[in-house]
Amino acid sequence: MQIMVNPKAAQWFKEEVGLNEGFGIRFKTRIYGKSPINDGFTIGIEPDQPLNPIASTVTDNGVQFFIEENDQWYFEGYDLIVDFDEKLQEPKYVYKKYN
């Protein structure tokens, strides 16, 4: 499992979320939603410090993005691509199946 983040999306998170020192963006499971990979659940985000990440990346602007071990079941079998929607001016999430 990998996380890939578009530079524009990384900048959006840096500007809009307001991270404290040592914090990154955690991608987690959120109940009561719908995603292309799981009905009833969707992706959530929160500023957090990694404890047991199963996937992590640090972008050129210094923001760390990660998924914790206890959310592995939601992302199992997929890489997460965080792209940027130019029309909506916000991140969009793409799940890419891997073997």
Q: Which domains does the chain have, with CATH numbers?
A: 3-97 (2.60.300.12)
Summarised one tens digit per residue, pLDDT across range 36-90 is: 777 778 899 999 999 999 999 999 989 999 999 999 998 999 999 999 999 999 9
C-alpha span between 89 and 12 (Å, rounded): 9
What is the CB neighbour count within 10 angstroms for residue 70?
12
Closest CA to 95 of 50, 55, 62, 61: 55
34 pLDDT higher than 80:
no
**Mapping DSSP to helix (H, G, I), strand (E, B) and coil, where does residue 84 land?**
strand
Which residues pair with residue 53 across a beta bridge?
Answer: 68
C-alpha span between 58 and 42 (Å, rounded): 23
pLDDT at 18: 84
DSSP codes joined into one string, 57-75: EE-TTS-EEEEEGGGHHHH
Taking the C-alpha atoms of 91, 50, 67 and 14 in order, what is their torsion angle to the nearest 10 degrees? 10
